[in-house]
């Protein structure tokens, strides 16, 4: 007789398919051909079309329109025309609309899930239980932000017309992440879904009609990268929000450089999944399933690098293999399937190529014994062990169900391995010790850290990258900042107003320092000979002779020499960056300690006020002292948030320093400008390489003496004088500089943005707009704190 355990062993799943009929009927209703949704109306399918296919069968689903440049232009015009009215609806009006969208999504949720799985190949279990509920949640949550905007974001206004380009891995969810915050804050959008997966976006466009969203507020246009590039290039778009590969992100960064467009990029990742020896290994195994086999590993924050503490590595590998053997892969519409299909043949080929390369480079590959369906595009779950940290498969984003496993011995080694990547999107940590987890979490360079969980998302929590994983956040209060700008001034994003008030970044070259000229100017005839000083730079807490061995004259308005500064060059900048890195302990001092140092700087500057006031405008020193007080006051008050995500957990949104910041100071006021820019940066824990005003650098240079006597650790602030453009270019192109602030001309701003794409450093440039440094908001507003920090969301579940 068969025993009960034997029955359990031989039990097999029967097919449990979700019906595709409603989605297919919808496609038929449209004759399987779609136009574009512009200004609240549908265009006829265009002259150029392309096919979207079902990845599980390889069969065509529909023909879509390749939007041309003219189509992009019409969509932008429609969005522009609709924007003032949409903003004027006010928070409550917009909240009602967003709420309606959430309701409509919810009512259509099964339909959307089926259509998504058909078009993308993801298991219905995921589209039904994860993607679509999160879409509805995003619209509900942002309906709330619309309602609260006036109160919670005072002084900020919509950015205007937003161009949004999204990828194919979470088609409808990425649409929601983009559209909900944009609409909530009074913007209108032109959105392009990815060419492989446009269907749910097109159905969403219909939903906008059904829900009564005013025409032109949401425009959906389809097409491949050419359409994306046309959106990026369109001159009347105020901001680009992009999610996709780092390569395309870099193209977009370069293409928008100098345009004044606001930019947020959510790019690739190679996220570590760190397992300490005290972790609950059975939970870890389920965590790995969610980390790398969720959505076939086509997840930008997939936990694709398992780092496991040596003592438990073998046990974990054995458990993982057993679990992989039991995974079910097949028809995405089957409700009992764990993994579906890869979105397109080109992606499958890329995964296959990288897996081959992994084997050629000597890693050991393991796949379960069962085989994948032959129709459609499938790839089995794959585990690589014996992987060198430098191997291609350990460094490159595979974007497929392939995970590499490496060992570590100590927590310090875990941190080093985890951060051994150019990306920084997410990380998960597995340990039963909360102390260990909370010690490691801040050390990881990642925008999200999940403790004992992975791949959990919510509208209330910000999501986005460090390093080459991009910048900007989506979700949470921090995500709203991407879609608003300060009402007056506008220097934060280089644009000064809505459509009419917006000043184009002037191409007129600003007056650059005459210090760059090599001709020796006449010495002011009436001046007494000054006490001769050898001009030096300030690097690593010490005065340093410029590497060039040369100095340069500083001229007054009349062109007379009033002194000399060191002629810094690329070597000096590199030394300064190195010194700034070495001073990174500054970030780990308590905020109270950092505040004390800032107050001390203010005290020492005040003590030397008479001396400093000779070189600057009347009242400037006093204002500089007050400014330092302001930033000292903020040092221990710029708090994070605890987000209410709907899980049994707390989600800590922690502002963290960017790292090493390059700060290019404004021409004038030389001392106040330097103090106003550098102090908030260091208050938040950054270290800085500063290029002072080229026009009047002397007071700024003497400022090092104040720093020197104020207990500021060496290397936290480094000052390099010299030809500003040349030095700025070196800073902007430097791969070890994490961010750069540039308060100068339009051309210099464009150059900074262009060069920053190398390591995707954060930029904040003025596009040639002057800032009133004496004004408390323009010279000491909250935007300095926002620009000096990036938010890390740490998810901490609780309960047994």
Residue 266 contacts residue 464 (beta carbons within 8 Å): yes
Q: Does 254 bind ligand ADP (CB under 6 A)?
A: no
Burial of 776 (0-12, 13-18, 19+ CB in 10 A): exposed
Q: What's the min distance (Å) between Cβ of 416 and ligand ADP?
A: 28
Distance in angstroms (rounded) separating the CA atoms of residues 726 and 766: 18
Nearer to ligand ADP, 211 or 251 (CB): 251
Q: What's the min distance (Å) between Cβ of 86 and ligand ADP?
A: 24
Pair of tokens at residue 464: 């986005």
- Three-class DSSP category at 599: helix
Pair of tokens at residue 133: 């509920």
Q: Which of 182, 229, 263, 660 binds ligand ADP (CB under 6 A)?
A: 229
Q: Which stretch binds ligand ADP (CB under 6 A): 181-189, 241-249, 385-393, 420-428?
A: 241-249
Q: What's the min distance (Å) between Cβ of 155 and ligand ADP?
A: 32
Nearer to ligand ADP, 192 or 734 (CB): 192
- The angle formed by the CA atoms of residues 566, 577 and 675, to the nearest 5 degrees, is 65
Pair of tokens at residue 550: 């040369």
Q: What's the min distance (Å) between Cβ of 483 and ligand ADP?
A: 19
Neighbours of 247 (CB within 10 A): 10
**Which residue in 172, 164, 21 sits closest to 101, CA to CA?**
172
Q: Which stretch binds ligand ADP (CB under 6 A): 113-121, 228-236, 710-718, 750-758?
A: 228-236
Reported as type and span, the H/E element at residue 655 is strand 649-657
Nearer to ligand ADP, 42 or 50 (CB): 50
Q: Does 228 bind ligand ADP (CB under 6 A)?
A: yes
Q: Does 245 bind ligand ADP (CB under 6 A)?
A: yes
Bridge partner list, 642: 652
Q: Which stretch binds ligand ADP (CB under 6 A): 144-152, 242-250, 378-386, 502-510?
A: 242-250
Q: Does 234 bind ligand ADP (CB under 6 A)?
A: no
Nearer to ligand ADP, 54 or 710 (CB): 54
Q: Which of residues 561-620 bind ligand ADP (CB under 6 A)?
A: none
Nearer to ligand ADP, 227 or 575 (CB): 227
The tokens 């890195």 sit on which residue? 581
Q: Which stretch binds ligand ADP (CB under 6 A): 244-252, 482-490, 573-581, 756-764?
A: 244-252
Reported as type and span, the H/E element at residue 73 is helix 69-88
Give the CB-nearest residue to ligand ADP: 228
Give the CA-trace dihedral at 554, 556, 560, 562, to 10 degrees: -50
From the CA atom positions of the chain, what is the Rg in Å?
28
Q: What's the min distance (Å) between Cβ of 268 and ligand ADP?
A: 7
Which residue out of 18, 116, 208, 300 is catalytically annotated? 300
Concatenated DSSP letters of 231-298: HHH-TT--EEEEES-HHHHHHHHHHHTTS--EEEEE----EEEEE-TTS-HHHHHHHHIIIIIGGGG-
- Helix, strand, coil share (%) of the chain residues, nearest 5: 45, 20, 40
Q: Which stretch binds ligand ADP (CB under 6 A): 188-196, 468-476, 704-712, 716-724?
A: 188-196
Q: Which of 232, 312, 539, 601 binds ligand ADP (CB under 6 A)?
A: 232
Q: What's the min distance (Å) between Cβ of 225 and ligand ADP?
A: 3
Q: Which of 134, 194, 205, 425 binds ligand ADP (CB under 6 A)?
A: 194
Q: What's the min distance (Å) between Cβ of 594 and ligand ADP?
A: 39
Pair of tokens at residue 741: 């602030």
Pair of tokens at residue 528: 């007494």
* Known active-site residue 665: no
Q: Which of 190, 199, 218, 251 binds ligand ADP (CB under 6 A)?
A: 251
Q: Does 174 bind ligand ADP (CB under 6 A)?
A: no
Residue 124 contacts residue 339 (beta carbons within 8 Å): no
Burial of 563 (0-12, 13-18, 19+ CB in 10 A): middle
* Known active-site residue 266: yes
Q: Does 425 bind ligand ADP (CB under 6 A)?
A: no
Which residue out of 18, 195, 266, 474 is catalytically annotated? 266
Q: What's the min distance (Å) between Cβ of 357 and ligand ADP?
A: 18
Q: Does 543 bind ligand ADP (CB under 6 A)?
A: no
Q: Which of residues 304-343 bind ligand ADP (CB under 6 A)?
A: none
Q: Which of 69, 224, 636, 726 binds ligand ADP (CB under 6 A)?
A: 224
Total residues binding ligand ADP (CB under 6 A): 16
Concatenated DSSP letters of 134-196: HHHHHHHHHHHHHHHHHHHSTTEEE--EEEEE--SSSHHHHHHHHHHHHHHTT-EEEEE--TT
Residue 424 contacts residue 468 (beta carbons within 8 Å): yes
Concatenated DSSP letters of 325-388: HH--B--TTBTT-SB---S-HHHHHHHHHHHHHHHHTTPEEE--SS---SSS-----EEEES--
Q: What's the min distance (Å) between Cβ of 411 and ligand ADP?
A: 33
Q: Does 225 bind ligand ADP (CB under 6 A)?
A: yes
Q: Which stretch binds ligand ADP (CB under 6 A): 178-186, 225-233, 288-296, 718-726?
A: 225-233
Pair of tokens at residue 509: 């070259």
Q: What's the min distance (Å) between Cβ of 379 and ligand ADP?
A: 16
Q: Does 413 bind ligand ADP (CB under 6 A)?
A: no
Q: What's the min distance (Å) between Cβ of 184 and ligand ADP?
A: 23
Q: Which stretch binds ligand ADP (CB under 6 A): 53-61, 226-234, 682-690, 773-781?
A: 226-234
Nearer to ligand ADP, 474 or 747 (CB): 474
Q: Does 497 bind ligand ADP (CB under 6 A)?
A: no
Q: Which stretch binds ligand ADP (CB under 6 A): 108-116, 165-173, 375-383, 727-735?
A: 165-173
Q: Does 192 bind ligand ADP (CB under 6 A)?
A: yes
Residue 591 contacts residue 785 (beta carbons within 8 Å): no
Give the residue numbers annotated as catalytic, written as ranges. Answer: 266, 300
Using CB under 6 A as the criterion, which residues of the chain lie in contact with ligand ADP when the complex forms? 165-167, 192, 194-195, 224-225, 228-229, 232, 244-245, 248, 251-252
């Amino acid at each position: 007789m068969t025993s009960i355990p034997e029955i359990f062993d031989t039990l097999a799943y029967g097919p449990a398919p979700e019906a595709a009929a409603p989605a297919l009927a919808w496609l038929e209703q449209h004759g399987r051909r779609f136009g574009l949704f512009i200004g609240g109306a549908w265009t006829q399918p265009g002259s150029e079309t392309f096919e979207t296919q079902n990845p599980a069968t390889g069969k065509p689903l529909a023909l879509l329109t390749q939007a041309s440049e003219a189509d992009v232009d019409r969509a932008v015009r429609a969005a522009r025309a609709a924007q003032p009215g949409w903003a004027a609806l006010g928070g409550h009006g917009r909240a009602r609309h967003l709420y309606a969208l959430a309701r409509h999504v919810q009512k259509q949720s099964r339909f959307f899930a089926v259509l998504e799985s058909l078009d993308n190949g993801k298991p219905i279990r995921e589209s039904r239980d994860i993607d679509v509920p999160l879409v509805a949640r995003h619209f509900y949550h942002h309906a709330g932000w619309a309602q609260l905007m006036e109160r919670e974001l005072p002084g900020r206004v919509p950015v205007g017309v937003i161009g949004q380009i999204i990828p194919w891995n979470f088609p409808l969810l990425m649409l929601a992440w983009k559209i909900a915050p944009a609409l909530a804050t009074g913007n209108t959008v032109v959105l392009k879904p990815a060419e492989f997966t446009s269907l749910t976006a097109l159905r969403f466009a219909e939903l906008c009609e059904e829900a009564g969203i005013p025409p032109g507020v949401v425009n959906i246009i389809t097409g491949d990268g050419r359409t994306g590039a046309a959106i990026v290039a369109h001159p009347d778009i105020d901001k680009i929000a992009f999610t996709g590969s780092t390569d395309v992100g870099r193209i977009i960064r370069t293409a928008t450089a100098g345009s004044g467009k606001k930019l947020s990029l959510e790019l690739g990742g190679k996220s570590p999944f760190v397992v300490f020896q005290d972790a609950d290994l059975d939970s870890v195994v389920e965590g790995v399933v969610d980390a790398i086999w969720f959505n076939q590993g086509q997840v930008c924050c997939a936990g694709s690098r398992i780092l496991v503490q040596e003592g438990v590595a073998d046990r974990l590998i054995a458990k993982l293999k057993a679990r992989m053997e039991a995974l079910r892969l097949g028809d995405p519409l089957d409700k009992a399937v764990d993994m579906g299909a890869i979105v397109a043949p080109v992606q499958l080929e890329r995964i296959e190529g990288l897996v081959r390369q992994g084997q050629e480079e000597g890693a050991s590959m393991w796949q379960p014994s069962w085989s994948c369906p032959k129709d459609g595009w499938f790839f089995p779950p794959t585990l690589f062990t014996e992987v060198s940290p430098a191997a291609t498969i350990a460094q490159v984003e595979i974007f497929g169900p392939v995970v590499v496993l490496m060992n570590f011995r100590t927590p310090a080694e875990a941190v080093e391995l985890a951060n051994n990547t150019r990306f920084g999107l997410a990380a998960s940590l597995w340990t039963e010790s909360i102390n260990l987890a909370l010690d490691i979490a801040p050390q990881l360079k990642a925008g999200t850290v999940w403790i004992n969980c992975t791949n959990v998302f919510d509208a209330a929590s910000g999501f986005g990258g460090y390093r080459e994983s991009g910048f900007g956040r989506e979700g949470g209060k921090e995500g709203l900042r991407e879609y608003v700008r300060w009402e007056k001034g506008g220097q934060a994003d280089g644009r000064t107003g809505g459509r009419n008030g917006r000043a184009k970044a002037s191409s007129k070259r600003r007056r650059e320092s005459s210090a760059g000229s090599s001709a020796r100017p006449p010495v002011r005839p009436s001046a007494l000979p000054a006490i001769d000083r050898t001009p030096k730079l300030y690097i690593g807490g010490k005065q340093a002779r410029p590497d060039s061995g040369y100095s340069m004259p500083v001229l007054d308005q009349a062109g007379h020499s009033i002194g000399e500064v060191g002629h810094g060059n690329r070597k000096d900048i590199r030394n300064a960056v190195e010194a700034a890195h070495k001073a990174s302990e500054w970030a780990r001092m308590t905020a109270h300690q950092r505040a004390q140092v800032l107050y001390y700087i203010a005290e020492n500057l005040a003590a030397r006020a008479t001396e400093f006031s000779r070189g600057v405008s009347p009242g400037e020193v006093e204002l500089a002292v007050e400014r330092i007080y302001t930033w000292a006051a903020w040092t221990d008050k710029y708090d994070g948030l605890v987000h209410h995500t709907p899980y049994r957990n707390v989600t800590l949104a922690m502002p963290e320093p960017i790292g090493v910041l390059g700060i290019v100071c404004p021409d004038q006021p030389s001392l106040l400008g330097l103090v106003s820019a550098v102090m908030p940066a260091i208050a938040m824990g950054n270290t800085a390489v500063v290029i002072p005003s080229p026009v009047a650098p002397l007071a700024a240079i003497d400022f090092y003496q104040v720093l020197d006597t104020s207990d500021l650790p060496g290397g936290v602030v480094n000052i390099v004088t010299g030809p500003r453009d040349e030095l700025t270019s070196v800073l902007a192109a430097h791969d070890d500089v994490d961010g750069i602030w540039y308060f100068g001309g339009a051309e210099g701003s464009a150059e900074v943005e262009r060069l920053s794409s190398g390591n995707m450093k954060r930029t904040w440039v003025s596009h040639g707009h002057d800032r009133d440094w004496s004004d408390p908001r323009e010279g000491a507003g909250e935007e300095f704190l926002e620009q000096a920090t990036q938010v890390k969301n740490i998810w901490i579940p609780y309960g047994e």
